[in-house]
Amino acid sequence: MPAIKKPSDHFDIALQTGTGAAADFPMPNGMAPDFGWLKSRSTGSTNHLLTNRLVNNGNTVSTNSTTAEFSNPALYFNGNNMGMQPYNSDAGQNGQTYVLWGWKAGGGTAVTNTSGTISSQVSANPTAGFSIVTYTGTGANATVGHGLGVTPSMVIVKARSTTGNWCVTMPTLGANNVPFLDLTNAAASFPTVFNGLPTSTIFNIGTAGSTNTNAATFVAYCFAAVEGYSAFGSYTGNGSADGPFVFTGFRPRFVLFKKSSAADDWIIYDTSRDTYNVASKNLYPNGAFAEDTNTANRAADILSNGFKIRSSATYLNLNAATFIYMAFAEAPFKFANAR
């Protein structure tokens, strides 16, 4: 894939304070997202809300829950923008602060993909290595087309019409080793969940209900690494405050971490909430917690060409433990300045 010079054309972050009324939540650089992920920063016991243009407008799922997709008008699409309005306590509340992460797929247009044994609907942005896939399960081992044209570095699957875990597969973890985005569990072998690694055309699903219940509907978010824009991989902790440096080839805008060799939280940092080093404003996909700042235990420097762990604590840097990450760029290395 060619290098991306302007990452914000494909991924961007917006911050907003709720007013108690419906309001647009536009991306600061004008990108029209096809996949939006919203979280309250200031209030605990509030769900992560995720939606995309392939599902009914206002239907959301939560990474901190196994609950099926539900009609939740808190997060919706309004033309090129996303909108937010009060619903329960999760969104739009007066005086509460929110973050919205947004990715561009195929501009809301879905095509039928028959590369797999199950026909899928795909909205793909091959330039940025991202596609949204919906499909209906059969209960038998199957393959599903993703539309990227290259092998994904990460695939995340969630049941829409029934309950189920958020299932993650990454080639860096090896075949069948699955961490769950809604849990703290270590990655473990679940051959019935993905039944093999993805290829340039398909990802594999097994017979597990969380990826392939018969007649149930599912959504998959598929990501491939793109030079200067996105990176996926793993690092090994050293247990030192002078922690590992991970080269991504760009200054990260967003980084998702998980200790994969043992139980621990998933953690998200971004440079809209953390505007200078060290980054320590944590949000947790597996929990409904408010943003917290934990410099002693969960801290990293965001650099012009990657990130460096700045904590000896077990959450990000347990000695000899394996950690996985997903990162998206603010600026490619050759255009990046230090923070």
Task: Supply the CATH number for residue 178's domain.
Answer: 2.60.40
* Domains held by the chain: number: 3
**pLDDT computed for residue 3 by the predictor:** 65
215 lies in the same domain as 235:
no
165 lies in the same domain as 131:
yes
**pLDDT computed for residue 333 by the predictor:** 47
Q: Which of 206, 223, 240 is the last residue of a domain?
A: 223
**Which domain range does residue 44 map to?**
7-103
140 lies in the same domain as 96:
no
Is residue 108, in this structure, part of any structural domain at all? no
**What residue ranges of the chain have pLDDT lower than 50?**
333-334, 336
**pLDDT computed for residue 339 by the predictor:** 53
145 lies in the same domain as 176:
yes
Is residue 2, in this structure, part of any structural domain at all? no
160 lies in the same domain as 98:
no
Peptide bond before residue 278 is cis, with ω within 30 degrees of 0: yes
Say what the pTM is.
0.96
236 lies in the same domain as 329:
yes
78 lies in the same domain as 125:
no
Is residue 1, in this structure, part of any structural domain at all? no
